[in-house]
Chains A and B, each alone.
Chain A
Amino acid sequence: MLRYIALRALLALLVAFTVSLAAFLLLNVAADPAQAIAGEDATQDVIDAIRARYGLDRPLAVRYFDWLGGVLHGDFGESYYWHQPVASLVWDRADETITLALSALTVTILIALPLGALAALNPNSWIDRFALGVAVSAQAVPNFWLGLIMIIVFGVTFPIFPVSGDDTWRHFVLPAFVLGASSVPAVMRLTRTGLIEVMSADYVRTARSKGFRGGALLRRHAMRNALLPVISVLAVQLGQKFGGSVITESIFAINGLGRLALESILGADIPTVQMLIFVFAIVFVTMNLIADILNAALDPRIRIG
């Protein structure tokens, strides 16, 4: 088991650094970063000055390993735009995004699990068709648009929840719903198929013949096995919530990492963009790692095979 975890962790780290290398190459080769920082109308002198000042005149490999060396010492460079260390910039804003991601995941669980379970227990009923309809529609709704509609509805017509800012828990209700809704189709479908499969298994039939019905049957026999794959998908979805926070945070004016990402892109702040990509990748591979370990712990076939 330890060997399995170590191997997986090594792979995860390798993936995260590959992502950082790919992002570095794309951001530096696709176009001239000095030109992007200087703006469209800048003269050649200004561009050259920027290039020299930020060390962009050095070869690509030198710059990447310079960045990598810094990262290994906990130094992510200095922001071009805010003129402070990138690491403290990201650290200051991380808690807003973690709160948002966790509450969004809670929303996903609260909607997707009951809906998927009800659909699985009554296949081809109206509730099953309703759940399928919810999944199909939720996949087609643009996330940013759903956010704006929420703001229109709750900002004017039903002013129950605040629509802008991040001061209290009430500020997180609507953003969490919008961000959480995007994961509902995947989690709901998986719960439904998993539960249908388990409900037709022999041990559930045996339990039923022993007199288990309804809630007790679900709780003690069916749910546990059906939820195994759901747990690992939830971990992956939580990883994706961080990257998905860009839109939600900018719509609801939450001062977290997603908004920082948008601001640093519009400010051509490459060190901050580079670090955010790295941080989001680290979060994603960590969540995947946790999912792998959970699966291995719960299902011995994986860790042996």
Chain B
Amino acid sequence: MTNTNISNAVLNDADPQCDDAELGMQTPGQIFRNRVLNHRGFLIGSGIIAALVLIAIFAPLIAPHDPYVQSLSSRMLPPVWSEGGSWDHILGSDQNGRDYLSRLIYGTRVSITIGLGAATVGLFIGVTLGVIAGYFGGWVDHAISFLLTAQLALPGLLLAMALVFIIGPSIWVVIGIVGVLHWTYYLVVTRAATQRIRSQDFIAAAQASGATSRQIIWHEILPNLLSSIIVIFTFELGIAILAESSLSFLGVGIQPPTPSWGLMIAEGKQAMFYRPWLVVLPGICLFFLVIGANLMGDGLRDITSPEGRNG
């Protein structure tokens, strides 16, 4: 981390935050901290993500009711601000009489688990292929680039739906399939970055001192890719969460009674003209989670490589 910050600060004359005083008086750690604290989008995004992760972890402590307990006597109660609402069910209840706030709170667990899982699966596929293509070049690079073109031409949602349906829906199947279909962004970025790093002097030095390809990849290239991989991971988190919600909405993702926001929107659809909050609320939750991840990704990109800000 510190190394990249020094080089960023030195390379980047155009950045208004990096004037001479900053270079002369501040340590790289301080520069980094200032960048983080001055980036409003990053602070908002990571604040949203931190809050939702805490809600997911402590869901049993926060949720006022059990999200699975049905009650015929309290079906489709309106939220507290509309007529007939009560503080017992702050956001009302669904068609099975389950407390909506509690289901939304438990829904963060489903979205975040699948987002993290799928983005990790994609990371392993994309980074492995990207580093191999960028490092070895030649026909290996051509083969992997062809694979990339084919993956981009694949109608992802359609194939994901068909696979989930055939294999049978479960949280692990959804994680695996969404992950296997979302690795191109990792590949494109790590391939280009590996090519750039590979042509630098310290790689030649490592080769001259007898390091094997495996050692160079692990000790010289991957550490330098870390910050861009983290940035992509954050964006992919949002993309995977939206993909899961679409699958669950179409009935080929998370199955009832598990509280998934996409599934809750599908369940609320039948009653949406009379009980619009059943559809509106889970969508707002999805919106905040995804915009949080995107703002955090934008921010991380600006903070770790300010020279790429306009790119």
Binding site for B on A (CB under 8 A): 11, 14-16, 18-19, 22-23, 26-27, 30-31, 33, 36, 136-137, 139-145, 148-149, 151-152, 155-156, 193, 242-244, 246-247, 250, 261-262, 265-266, 268, 273, 276-277, 280-281, 284-285, 288
A26 is contacted by which of B163, B242, B249, B294 (Cβ under 8 Å)?
A: B163
User: Looking at chain A's contact residues, is the secondary structure mostly helix, strand, loop, or mixed?
Assistant: helix
Q: Which B-chain residue is minimally distant from A197 (CB atoms)?
A: B310
Contact A15/B290 with A142-B242, A262-B250 known, Cβ cut-off 8 Å: no
Q: Which B-chain residue is minimally distant from A148 (CB atoms)?
A: B279
A144 to B154, CA, bound (A): 21
Interface string of B229-270 (1 = CB under 8 A from A): 000000000100010011001111000000000100100010
Q: Does B157 contact A (CB under 8 A)?
A: yes
On whether the beta carbons of A36 and B166 are closer than 8 Å, the reply is yes
On whether the beta carbons of B287 and A280 are closer than 8 Å, the reply is no
| B143 CB to nearest A CB, Å | 11
Contact A243/B157 with A136-B291, A149-B280, A250-B250 known, Cβ cut-off 8 Å: yes
| B94 CB to nearest A CB, Å | 16
On whether the beta carbons of A280 and B155 are closer than 8 Å, the reply is yes
A247 to B249, CA, bound (A): 9
Q: Which B-chain residue is minimally distant from A261 (CB atoms)?
A: B158
Instruction: List, in ascending order, chain B residues with CB within 8 A of A277's CB.
Output: 154-155, 158-159, 162
Contact A33/B166 with A15-B149, A142-B246 known, Cβ cut-off 8 Å: yes
| B96 CB to nearest A CB, Å | 20
Pick the most buried of B155, B166, B279, B287: most chain A CB atoms within 10 A of its CB. B155
Q: Does B136 contact A (CB under 8 A)?
A: no
On whether the beta carbons of B269 and A155 are closer than 8 Å, the reply is no
A284 to B156, CA, bound (A): 12
| A150 CB to nearest B CB, Å | 11
Contacts of B163-193 to chain A: CB distance below 8 A: 163, 165-168
Instruction: List, in ascending order, chain B residues with CB within 8 A of A266's CB.
Output: 165, 251-252
A156 to B275, CA, bound (A): 12
On whether the beta carbons of A149 and B279 are closer than 8 Å, the reply is yes
Instruction: List, in ascending order, chain B residues with CB within 8 A of A26's CB.
Output: 159, 163
A280 to B290, CA, bound (A): 27
A27 to B167, CA, bound (A): 9
Q: What would 28 A/B residue contacts be, using CB atoms closer than 8 Å?
A: A15-B149, A22-B150, A27-B162, A36-B165, A136-B291, A136-B294, A137-B291, A139-B238, A141-B287, A142-B242, A142-B287, A145-B282, A148-B283, A151-B272, A243-B155, A243-B157, A246-B158, A261-B161, A262-B250, A265-B161, A265-B165, A266-B165, A277-B155, A277-B159, A277-B162, A280-B158, A281-B153, A285-B153
Contacts of B265-298 to chain A: CB distance below 8 A: 265, 269, 272-273, 276, 279-280, 282-283, 286-287, 290-291, 294-295, 298
